[in-house]
Structure 1
Amino acid sequence: MTVAQIASAQGPGEAAPDLAAWMGAYGGELRRYFARRAPASEADDLVQDVFLRLQSARFGAPIADAQRYLFTVARHVLASRRRKSPARHAALEEAPEPVSHLSPERILVGRQDYARAIRAVVDLPPRARSAFRLHRFEELTYAAIADRMGISRESVKELLRRASDRVSDVLRVEA
């Protein structure tokens, strides 16, 4: 199908393209384009992403050069996939094996860890415990904690550092 035929398939004055005609005309070309630039197993998914973007796009005017437009979208889809790919694959490779069930031992260990963490926070000195609670549980900023406690931001920072160190030490030693 030629560009003129694609443009005429849009209809006079229509802004949205006829995706079925575009898929028929350019689907194979897009697959070959992606097969040369990405793993062949991903080519169909990438073509689908192109047409998905086209379907959700809002067009203000008819597209003059359909092929050029499609391959511009294809380049953007490929760049987007490449940007996301390393992090996604690294996260999948490093992910621990999924736990199929929670055994009684696993539940007991979790409860013991939770109790140790709570005990470590409760055993903090009062000012450090207060700063820790405000920061970790109420999600206040250092400045907000400083205002509420009547101390400087640097003092808040030091209290939180000490509190975190103490809680970490307790959890590490008792593990």
Structure 2
Amino acid sequence: MDLQEDGRSALIGLYLERRSDLVRFFTVRLRSPAAAEDLVQDIYVRLSGMDQPVEIQNPVAYLYRLGSNLMLDKLRGERRTAHRDGAWLDSQTTRVGIHEISAEPSAEAAVAARQRLALLTQALTELSPQTQRVFRMHKFEGLSHPQVAAELGISRSAVEKHMMAALKHLAARLR
């Protein structure tokens, strides 16, 4: 066994002796026995992964300092995560007073919209094929009345009449 292994073994032996003290110490600081257990386990992982020999004047103080540094790193990471998540939430919601209003529709609104869409789709099938084409080209494809007329080879007035008939029929069916 070389000097590096001796130093690491001595530190791990000291860690094992002081493990319960470390857990108590960090439980008070983190206010969570589970978080303290995780942190003390991280100390062991760090000790067991040391590659280079380290000359340590006070090994007990080193264990507590190592744990404190790991704890601070963890807390900083949690703070960054909370800040990032808060910024994302702020960008995705609108606040009115203390209430958050989501940009997403509620489940009820989504179901109602799907039902209206199903009714609209059914009502469209009841139109004549030419009226359906005119309506789809204008409303779904975004073509203007003159563009629809040119595409279908009909007059602009005919497009307007098809649109009026379609809208009248849909309004009656969706009431």
If the TM-score is normalised by the length of the shorter chain, which range does it land in? 0.3 to 0.5
Q: TM-score, normalised by structure 1?
A: 0.40
Q: Comparing both chains, which one has the higher relative contact order based on Cα–Cα distances under 8 Å and sequence gaps of 6 or more? A: 1
User: Which has more strand, going by share of residues?
Assistant: 2
